[in-house]
A and B are shown apart, each in its own frame.
Chain A
Amino acid sequence: MAGKTLYDKLWESHVVREESDGTCLLYIDRHLIHEVTSAQAFEGMRLAGRKAWRAASIVANPDHNTPTDHWDEGIKDPISRLQVETLDANIKDFGALVYFPFKHANQGIIHVIGPENGTTLPGTTVVCGDSHTSTHGAFGALAHGIGTSEVEHVLATQTLVAKRSQRMLVKVEGQLGKEVTAKDVALAIIGKIGTAGGNGYAIEFGGSAIRGLSMEGRMTLCNMTIEAGARAGLVAPDEKTVEYLKGRTYAPKGADWDKAVAYWSTLKSDPDAKFDAVVELDAARIEPQVTWGTSPEQVLPVGARVPNPANEPDLQKRTGIERALQYMGLAADTPISEIKVDKVFIGSCTNSRIEDLRAAAKVVKGRKKAAGVKLVLVVPGSGIVKRQAEDEGLDKVFVEAGFEWREPGCSMCLAMNADRLEPGERCASTSNRNFEGRQGAGGRTHLVSPAMAAAAAIAGHFVDIRNQF
């Protein structure tokens, strides 16, 4: 009998019951909650007179609607404010293990605060009404996004009705080049398999280049798994995982810690485990990436030119390219390095952790933002990240360069608060989605790594950071 994949081990250790057609009731260890996708679920609970099955599984925090400046003035938009206050009231009524209300010192993006508090642990199941829940897979946790009806289901039953996914192994072997980051690896993978390439799969990332990534890098990679169509991404826990978790507030302590570490060491795919699909990439060949279109799969190395639809034989793809170029206001064959940006956004659950801010600051130090760039927002992922960055003096580096140093939150990743692009504005962004209108109606987004975003802010256009800076 073939061995088991990490995914299978995580799955099987959480099956409460299984129907004859393979539909399972899966036990959920951690339920992350934010304000946008939970109100209707709590309302449903109330209408049915139900209580939370295990409130101590809940980690909650508003992040999508919260402003990133003038916190003293509160949330000005009354609809956003109502949503955040609704979350306050719901947590008050139903309970939670962790709740950081708006303006709490540790508040931040839900996918940043889970890991940094040690609530995300290897061997757990983690869900959230948010597709980027895949982030937590970096710890060897089975983590994925769910809809609001499922949020209610988990609240009421501590389980999820789910069916096992196919397993895909994405193997990245070798050494990443200088200045090539987890973000570039993620974009290169999506460029290779497409945004639907992972549909129906849970992806395990393996290979020496993945093992070489820091926990922050692994989170960036797993975060972007959903952009490849896979609900869950996984990296097997190792000594870096253990090191990262040690001493965190909700990480196990004392004898439990030793027992946990021993258990976590079993969480890896067996050598003879079988995957339904295997994709291999050579780390050395991955270059800094820039998206040029309106889907994360429309991505190229920074040295390339944007595609020419005339060269695309497939009609549907050709129409897709034409439509994207038109929306992005780009002419076919334009060198990516000639694309000028109006705004730059460094933040989001993809790239707002301390390592990301350090990488951006390294490029920025002693330099100034280009005159043509209207706004550069640097938005830390959480209060903890913010304080650490300030302790290291990173905030000063940004402010001296003419960047804005903001309060934590989702910010211009999806522009539900005041941070957004105006129609036609072009942005270098460290977030995860370049969909039409994502960062503001008519806005144009190019996804890049933090260092590449910082470099674009300084130069005013995209540059290959391996040659400059």
Chain B
Amino acid sequence: MKAFKQINGLVCPLDRANVDTDAIIPKQFLKSIKRTGFGPYLFDEWRYADHGEPGMDCSHRPLRQEFVLNLPRYKGAQILLTRDNFGCGSSREHAPWAIEDYGFQVIIAPSFADIFFNNCYKNGILPIVLPAAMVDRLFAECAANEGYRLSVDLESQKITFPSGESLGFDIQPHRKHCLLNGLDEIGLTLQHADEIKVFESRHKAVQPWLFA
């Protein structure tokens, strides 16, 4: 996994609550057996005026000009600012794959859906939960200032505003450690293989039928 340390990135505001993973990456793209190449299809139905199919060359597709990702001022954004319950619905990891492949590294919202939130960390994306009032303020500042950027530093768990003002955010220590170092979680877990084996034999004694 790619490590995440810090960025200073352009912010793109997606002003909708309950954005579901079907909207983030529609089902037809789930037929791929690869992990990469989903970026061009991120938010496919909102982004393009035609119907997208896997393998399509997106550079010639008609755009829905008004959709925020298509506005020139947000081109190259690395921070996605959005609303409550982002990433709800299906557990598809294709959603963070698409977000990461598009170029977003940080998502800021008042709340996230659990499975999606978890999936972000596995793909080097930092999801940040901020109070709703703070998210409102970011939306307002972002709308008012073209080229609005934020600095996000994972080590110190701080977001710095263009004004120089800064704000802390929470993250579980284990997740922070993995993200900062780009650690392969499987490798980490397998360091405890003996403990898993010990557990397994104890478990087998209690519920032998699971191992029949």
Kindly report which residue of chain B lies nearest to residue A87, judged by CB atoms.
B33
- Chain A, range 148-195, C-beta contacts under 8 Å to B: 148-150, 152-153, 156-159, 161, 163, 195
A16 and B196 contacting across the interface, CB-CB below 8 Å: yes
Q: Known contacts A149-B93, A196-B85, A435-B20; is A21 also within 8 Å of B172 by CB?
A: yes
Give A148 to B32 CA distance when docked, in angstroms. Answer: 13
B190 lies within 8 A of chain A by Cβ: yes
A415 and B27 contacting across the interface, CB-CB below 8 Å: yes
Kindly list chain B residues whose C-beta atoms are within 8 Å of the C-beta of A43: 33, 35
Q: Known contacts A123-B207, A161-B174, A196-B111; is A147 also within 8 Å of B196 by CB?
A: no
B60 lies within 8 A of chain A by Cβ: no
Q: Known contacts A199-B85, A199-B113, A437-B26; is A153 also within 8 Å of B174 by CB?
A: no
B190 and A433 contacting across the interface, CB-CB below 8 Å: no
B208 and A145 contacting across the interface, CB-CB below 8 Å: no
Kindly list chain B residues whose C-beta atoms are within 8 Å of the C-beta of A416: 27-28, 30-31
A263 and B89 contacting across the interface, CB-CB below 8 Å: no
| Interface residue from A54, A256, A316, A436 paired with B17 (Cβ < 8 Å) | A316
Kindly report which residue of chain A lies nearest to residue B121, judged by CB atoms.
A149
Kindly list chain A residues whose C-beta atoms are within 8 Å of the C-beta of B173: 19-21, 23
| Interface residue from B27, B34, B172, B211 paired with A163 (Cβ < 8 Å) | B172
B31 and A79 contacting across the interface, CB-CB below 8 Å: yes
B133 lies within 8 A of chain A by Cβ: no
Task: Please count how many residues in chain A sit with their CB below 8 Å of the partner chain's CB atoms.
Answer: 79
B18 and A231 contacting across the interface, CB-CB below 8 Å: no
Question: Which of the candidate stretches B74-82, B141-149, B198-206 sits at the interface with the other chain?
Answer: B198-206
A17 and B192 contacting across the interface, CB-CB below 8 Å: yes
Kindly report which residue of chain A lies nearest to residue B118, judged by CB atoms.
A147
- Chain B, range 90-144, C-beta contacts under 8 Å to A: 90-93, 96, 111-115, 118-119, 122-123
Kindly list chain A residues whose C-beta atoms are within 8 Å of the C-beta of B16: 323
B83 and A316 contacting across the interface, CB-CB below 8 Å: yes
The distance from the CB of B204 to the nearest CB of chain A, in whole angstroms, is 11
Give A148 to B199 CA distance when docked, in angstroms. Answer: 25
B195 and A65 contacting across the interface, CB-CB below 8 Å: no
Kindly report which residue of chain A lies nearest to residue B114, judged by CB atoms.
A231
Give A153 to B119 CA distance when docked, in angstroms. Answer: 12
Kindly list chain B residues whose C-beta atoms are within 8 Å of the C-beta of A196: 18, 84-85, 88, 111, 113
B207 and A263 contacting across the interface, CB-CB below 8 Å: yes
Kindly report which residue of chain A lies nearest to residue B184, judged by CB atoms.
A48
A414 lies within 8 A of chain B by Cβ: yes
A351 lies within 8 A of chain B by Cβ: no
A99 lies within 8 A of chain B by Cβ: no
Question: Which of the candidate stretches A104-112, A124-132, A305-313 sits at the interface with the other chain?
Answer: A124-132
Give A163 to B121 CA distance when docked, in angstroms. Answer: 14
Question: Which of the candidate stretches A34-42, A281-289, A364-372 sits at the interface with the other chain?
Answer: A34-42
A433 and B26 contacting across the interface, CB-CB below 8 Å: no
The distance from the CB of A119 to the nearest CB of chain B, in whole angstroms, is 10
A441 and B115 contacting across the interface, CB-CB below 8 Å: no
Per-residue 0/1 for A44-85: is the Cβ within 8 Å of any B Cβ (1 yes, 0 no)? Answer: 000010100110100000001100000000000101101100
A29 lies within 8 A of chain B by Cβ: yes
Kindly list chain B residues whose C-beta atoms are within 8 Å of the C-beta of A22: 172
B54 lies within 8 A of chain A by Cβ: yes
Per-residue 0/1 for A93-137: is the Cβ within 8 Å of any B Cβ (1 yes, 0 no)? Answer: 000000000000000000000000000010110000111000000
B45 lies within 8 A of chain A by Cβ: yes
Give A80 to B33 CA distance when docked, in angstroms. Answer: 10
Kindly report which residue of chain B lies nearest to residue A21, judged by CB atoms.
B173
B18 and A147 contacting across the interface, CB-CB below 8 Å: no
Per-residue 0/1 for A295-339: is the Cβ within 8 Å of any B Cβ (1 yes, 0 no)? Answer: 100000000000000000000100010010000000000000000
A86 and B207 contacting across the interface, CB-CB below 8 Å: no
Kindly list chain B residues whose C-beta atoms are within 8 Å of the C-beta of A27: 196, 199-200, 203
The distance from the CB of A18 to the nearest CB of chain B, in whole angstroms, is 11
A36 and B30 contacting across the interface, CB-CB below 8 Å: yes
Q: Known contacts A196-B18, A229-B88, A231-B114; is A157 also within 8 Å of B186 by CB?
A: yes
B18 and A152 contacting across the interface, CB-CB below 8 Å: no
| Interface residue from A86, A147, A157, A435 paired with B33 (Cβ < 8 Å) | A86
The distance from the CB of B179 to the nearest CB of chain A, in whole angstroms, is 13
A21 and B186 contacting across the interface, CB-CB below 8 Å: no
The distance from the CB of A76 to the nearest CB of chain B, in whole angstroms, is 13
Kindly list chain A residues whose C-beta atoms are within 8 Å of the C-beta of B92: 36-37, 147
Kindly list chain A residues whose C-beta atoms are within 8 Å of the C-beta of B174: 19, 21, 23, 161
Q: Known contacts A16-B192, A25-B189, A196-B111; is A147 also within 8 Å of B22 by CB?
A: no
Kindly list chain B residues whose C-beta atoms are within 8 Å of the C-beta of A256: 208-209, 212
Most chain B beta-carbon neighbours within 10 Å: one of A22, A251, A437: A437
- Which residues of B come within 8 Å of A, CB atoms? 16-18, 20, 22-23, 26-28, 30-35, 45, 51, 54, 83-85, 88-93, 96, 111-115, 118-119, 122-123, 172-175, 185-186, 189-190, 192-193, 195-196, 199-200, 203, 206-212
Which 8 A-B pairs give the minimum distances between C-beta atoms? A252-B209, A149-B122, A39-B33, A147-B119, A147-B93, A145-B91, A196-B85, A148-B93
> 23 A-B Cβ contacts within 8 A?
A17-B195, A21-B172, A23-B173, A40-B33, A40-B93, A54-B200, A65-B31, A79-B32, A83-B33, A121-B210, A130-B90, A152-B186, A161-B174, A196-B113, A263-B207, A316-B17, A320-B18, A414-B90, A416-B27, A416-B30, A433-B22, A436-B22, A437-B26
